[in-house]
């Protein structure tokens, strides 16, 4: 059986993304955060941090079930996929302020003095007098039993995102959450606030926007890719992250061709991308421009018979292609020189034994 994959350095306009010394060692990165001017990476074996201006990484919190991580009012908070929220003042000693909240935690979201938690059983808000998480009264009738996956905050409104419905409430109000005039069939994957305007990405219908005064959502006009994983603000541009690339608003060819990209973030005048298993890469902000990465695809993949391959977006260089099977046996070795910007395809290669 042949199982092919594409790895290596991602290039944008003659600029190579530099691989950091992050000790990936097979661990999977999930997302990144910048807190107190320090970069944190949440992985399947806990939270790692990098000292400013250095390549020294340390595992500051072992454990692989962290779903969300913030700092609010001198306290660090983490939420767990398996349920539970923990708080610390120094990232060393952690306590559970309310052990009764055991639903899966998706996001912890601050709003002024308040802290909200999005969970698989609804939206909760911290009650500092009673010292407990209290459920917000949202009339969520979707099929996922009141699951709230994210919360958007503007200067006028709060917007709660269920899996197929939206709910809003005026800022500072304790009244009822109202269902917005919008319904969709895909889950919300990420929420971004820019200049009091909310952008949210979905797992199958692209990106939508919500203005503070509006009661419904509008689909983003230049929405070309429906399956959006995350949406971020990088170098003052909105960047959409997909499994197969990263696109900058206004520059549709800004792409990193890594099928396992998990996050993108800006920190200390650099852009960092994390991949699920290949570590963390970086380039200076000033060098991140619009050039699509050269990508090798092999079809069918996996295969036990004939295969063919294509080089997409070649840069006019000579390429050495090595295709190996899952045991490491060399199946194909060939040098090709395709024309720049013209996809180069070849095959079929047969006689491959399983």
Kindly tell me the burial class for residue 160, based on how many C-beta atoms sit within 10 Å of its own C-beta (0-12, 13-18, 19 or more): buried
Alpha carbon distance 56, 49 (integer Å) = 8
Alpha carbon distance 300, 245 (integer Å) = 21
Angle at Cα 314 formed by Cα 313 and Cα 315, nearest 5°? 120
77 and 70 Cβ atoms separated by less than 8 Å = yes
Q: 287 phi and psi, to 5 degrees? A: -105, 5
How much is the pTM? Answer: 0.74
- Gyration radius of the chain over CA positions: 23
Number of H helices, E strands in the chain: 0, 33
**What DSSP character marks residue 195?**
T
- Non-local (6+) Cβ contacts of 345 within 8 A are 308, 309, 310, 311
Short-list 143, 161, 144, CA closest to 107: 161
Residue 81: both structure tokens together: 């996929």
Kindly tell me the burial class for residue 85, based on how many C-beta atoms sit within 10 Å of its own C-beta (0-12, 13-18, 19 or more): buried
Short-list 266, 294, 293, 260, CA closest to 282: 266
Q: What is the model's pLDDT at position 64?
A: 80
Alpha carbon distance 224, 149 (integer Å) = 24
Q: What is the model's pLDDT at position 323?
A: 72
Give the residue ranges of the chain where pLDDT is below 50. Answer: 1-14, 252-254, 256-259, 290-293, 341, 350-354
Q: What is the model's pLDDT at position 206?
A: 84
Residue 63: both structure tokens together: 């454990």
- Non-local (6+) Cβ contacts of 236 within 8 A are none
The half-sphere exposure of 182 on its side-chain side, counting CA atoms within 13 A, is: 24
Alpha carbon distance 76, 69 (integer Å) = 7
Residue 68: both structure tokens together: 């969300």
Short-list 336, 332, 328, CA closest to 351: 332
Alpha carbon distance 59, 40 (integer Å) = 10
Q: What is the model's pLDDT at position 300?
A: 72
228 and 206 Cβ atoms separated by less than 8 Å = yes
325 and 1 Cβ atoms separated by less than 8 Å = yes
Residue 129: both structure tokens together: 């007098």
Q: What is the model's pLDDT at position 90?
A: 93
- Non-local (6+) Cβ contacts of 187 within 8 A are 149, 163, 164, 202, 203
């Amino acid at each position: 059986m042949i199982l092919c994959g594409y790895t290596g350095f991602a290039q944008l306009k003659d600029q190579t993304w530099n691989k950091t010394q992050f000790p990936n060692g097979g661990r999977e990165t999930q997302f990144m955060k910048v807190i107190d001017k320090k970069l944190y990476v949440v992985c399947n074996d806990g939270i790692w941090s990098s000292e400013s201006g250095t390549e020294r990484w340390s595992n500051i919190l072992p454990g692989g079930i962290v779903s969300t991580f913030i700092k609010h009012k001198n306290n660090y908070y983490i939420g767990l996929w398996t349920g539970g929220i923990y708080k610390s003042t120094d990232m060393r000693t952690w306590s559970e302020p309310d052990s009764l909240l055991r639903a899966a935690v998706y996001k912890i979201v601050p709003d002024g003095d308040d802290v909200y938690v999005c969970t698989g059983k609804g939206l909760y808000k911290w009650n500092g007098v009673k010292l407990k998480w209290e459920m917000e009264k949202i009339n969520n009738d979707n099929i996922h039993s009141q699951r709230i996956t994210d919360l958007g905050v503007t200067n006028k409104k709060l917007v709660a995102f269920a899996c197929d419905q939206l709910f809003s409430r005026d800022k500072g109000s304790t009244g009822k959450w109202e269902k917005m005039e919008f319904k969709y069939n895909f889950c919300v994957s990420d929420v971004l606030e820019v200049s009091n305007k909310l952008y949210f990405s979905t797992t199958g219908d692209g990106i939508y926007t919500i203005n503070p005064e509006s009661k419904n959502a509008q689909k983003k006009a230049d929405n070309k890719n429906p399956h959006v994983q995350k949406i971020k603000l990088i170098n003052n541009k909105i960047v959409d992250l997909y499994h197969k690339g990263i696109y900058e608003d206004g520059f549709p060819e800004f792409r990193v061709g890594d099928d396992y990209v998990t996050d993108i973030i800006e920190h200390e005048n650099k852009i960092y991308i994390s991949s699920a298993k290949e570590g963390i890469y970086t380039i200076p902000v000033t060098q991140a421009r619009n050039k699509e990465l050269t990508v090798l695809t092999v079809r069918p993949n996996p295969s036990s018979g004939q295969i063919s391959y294509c080089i997409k977006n070649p840069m006019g260089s000579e390429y050495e292609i090595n295709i190996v099977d899952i045991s490491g046996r060399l199946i194909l070795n060939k040098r090709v020189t395709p024309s720049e910007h013209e996809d180069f395809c070849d095959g079929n290669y047969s006689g491959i034994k399983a």
